[in-house]
Structure 1
Amino acid sequence: MTHRLQEYQPPEWAQSLKLIPKYRVQLAAPGVTPITEWKLPDAPEDFKVLLKRDDYTGSVLTGNKVRQLEFIIADAIAKGHKHIITAGAVHSNHCRAVAASCAELGLQSHLFLRTPAKQVSDLKFDGNLFLDRLFGANFYLVPADADYVEFIEGVEFDDILCACGGGRTICGLAVANYLCGMPYRLHTIVVSKLKRDNYRKIVQDHLNEVGLQDVAVEDVVTLYFNQVTPEHGENLPSQLELMVKSAEQTGVVLDNIYTAKAANELKELMQNKPEVFKGNRILFLHTGGLPSLQSEAKINPLLPYLTRSKFTFVS
């Protein structure tokens, strides 16, 4: 698979960073994903919300996950590795993207999945888990408790907001925004149960690792924790309601784990704390994740909110 490797040349503003990757392998659909205006349901009219369609990066590789993997997997191929090991929740979008990428490139994926299941027969192979199996991943079940400039260049907006699970996306955005002179104010909506200090450390460690030793987390990003639910895949009623409204009224499908929680917090901030934003033009990063909805466990909580469609039997 070495023929797929492309030498990576960082943009001029990023060349002083440490840990710059040497190679990239193209996995996402070519070109820059579009930015469109989004009529976010129940948002104040004096705000303009733009939608970065990173759910258009390509089929099962949809979302921001594939952007990271283009560099991570390229490094593995360059070093001669044949196996990729990663971890996540049982319906992890990241794990699904890893499994798909490995299948495409002739590598073997090994997925450590957090789940309450005690044996294989307890699992329901639907949604992302079905896709993981379809791509030939190996599974390891563990207890449940146990590129920047292409994104932000050339569009007029004041703030960027995205969801934060493991923290990699917001770390990358924070570095890029800082190196570009802080043209935007960054906001990230934490969706995981990790403690607040843990998230601050994740971002701070990343800044330090790439050579930004004198930059503090508070200088580059604001973290919000209001949308965290007891379990990673659970949702507040307001999040479920927004998922349905967004699909019905705008045609934009949000996933229950990341984008629904981030969009719900965006709406609430615009309604109740508009002063946190630099301006009234906000870019919302849609990070994909649609296959996670294609399971009975994710669909059932949404059914009470699906009241628009009418059914008529015709004889």
Structure 2
Amino acid sequence: MSIQYPAREHLANLPTPLQPLHKITELYSTPFGGPQVWIKRDDLTESAMSGNKVRKLEYIIAEAKVRGCNTLITCGGEQSNHCRATALAAAKCGMKAHLILRGAAELTSGNIPDGNLLVDYLAGARVSVYPLREYVSRLPELFEEWASFYQNQGNRALCIPTGGSDGLGIWGYLQCAEELLEDCRRVGFQPDRLVCASGSGGTQAGLTLGCQMLGADTGVTGYAVSDNEAYFIDKIQEDVRQWAEAYAQEFPFDSRRIHVNDKYIGPGYGIATEEIYQTIALAAQLEGILLDPVYTGKAFHGLLKDIEQGHYAGCRHIVFVHTGGQFGVFPQRAGFSACWADG
């Protein structure tokens, strides 16, 4: 079927490349063969705004302009890729950005920002940091308070949920699903499986819905980096429900085709193990691909372990969607010490 998209602000460099990972594929082949692993380079959507979030922001910012908003308010962790991309996108589009972050403390002279947080400040975003407990318990109130603050100043704010993942942001990865399937057709194959990291669920929701709308048998697996399987199944269904309601869509979405693997989260969100750091180093050394310890490193590690264990034995072609996050490497630099240690 033909997908009719809403208004879009062109920010990303699209289409992003689809590349084979020959060395990884060879390393993880068994005597019985194995799938060819490909990578969709959504880390290359843009230089500083890089990653999956900019695809969602193209539709979010277009909607903000339709509503007459000049300010974007969003939320996330101190190293949120989405918040960094929002800050930069707002600056590019002549808008204000206000980031509600969960973390330890406001910036002080002894607390130098790093990674995504540094870029947030460079982009001129207003940053408000709240302790975890207050952030979790008061997030809806915080959005309301800051939206009222800007309204009282004569501004109008659009409040964007975590990761830009909702019935509006889902358009970004509906469009990506269409682009990716066309990439594969052009090369000469249909992917058996698309794989991505799932942190707020929006990327997986868009890819899953997109494959169904386009009539592809391709399955989509999200490797959870935070919450469990049940959470993401519910979240993806809710994003699709919002999308269908807001845009009067009657497509019969099959929730049985939501596949989530929550076995590689490790100690918790944003906490990587030595195995994850080693997988990131492996991808860099073999393929020149830079993953991150929070999202893509965990998802790629899970994919390789599952290939190794034969869970994808029936697949000929698997595409890993690289959702970016490279700025997240730097705040966790100590985890990569084995890369420069003697011996």
Give TM-score scaled by structure 1 length.
0.85
- CA deviations 1:226-279 (Å, max 9, x no partner) are 11133422112211111111111221111111111011000111111325x651
Question: Of residues 47, 51, 56 in structure 1, which corresponds to 2:39?
Answer: 51
Note if 1:35 corresponds to 2:18.
Answer: yes
Contact 2:196–2:321 under 8 Å retained in 1: yes
Residues 209 and 253, structure 2, Cα contact 8 Å, conserved in 1: no
**CA–CA separation in structure 2 for the residues paired with 1:290 and 1:100:** 15
State the percentage of identical aligned residues.
29
* 1:129 aligned partner: 117
Native 8 Å contact 1:86 1:95 kept in 2: yes
Aligned partner of 2:8 among 20, 24, 42: 24
1:227 corresponds to: 264
Structure 2: runs of 5 or more not aligned: 137-174
Q: Given the alignment of the two structures, is residue 240 of structure 1 paired with residue 277 of structure 2, yes or no? A: yes
- Check the 8 A contact 1:207/1:213 in 2, yes or no: no
Tell me if the contact between 1:114 and 1:143 (Cα under 8 Å) persists in the aligned partners: yes
Structure 1: segments with no counterpart, 5+ residues: 1-11, 311-315
Give the RMSD, CA atoms, in angstroms: 2.0
SS in 1 for 2:264: coil
CA contact (8 A) 1:204 1:216 kept: no
- Whether contact under 8 Å (1:96, 1:131) holds in the other structure is yes
Tell me which residue corresponds to 2:337.
303
Whether the 8 Å CA contact 1:164–1:188 is kept in 2: the answer is yes
**Aligned-residue offset at 1:292:** 1.6
- For the residue of structure 2 that corresponds to 1:14, the secondary structure is coil
Any conservation in 2 of the 1:174–1:221 contact (CA below 8 Å)?
yes
1:1-315 equivalent positions in 2, closer than 5 A:
12-15=1-4, 21=6, 23-29=7-13, 31-38=14-21, 39-40=23-24, 42-44=27-29, 46=33, 47-115=35-103, 117-121=104-108, 123-145=111-133, 146=136, 147-148=175-176, 149-155=178-184, 156=189, 157-192=191-226, 194-209=227-242, 210=244, 211=249, 214-218=252-256, 220-275=257-312, 278-295=314-331, 298-306=332-340
C-alpha contact (below 8 Å) 2:266/2:273 kept by paired residues: yes
Shift of 1:213: 7.2
SS at match of 1:294: helix
Letter in 2 for 1:235: A
| Structure whose residues are more often helix by fraction | 2
Q: Distance in 1 between matches of 2:230 and 2:214?
A: 27
Q: Is the 8 A contact 1:185 1:278 kept in 2?
A: no
Output one character per residue of 1:265-305: Cα deviation in whole Å (capped at 9) or x when no partner: 00111111325x6512100001111112233xx10011124
The SS at the match of 2:132 is coil
Q: Work out the CA distance in 1 between the residues paired with 2:17 and 2:266.
A: 31
- Number of equivalenced pairs: 286
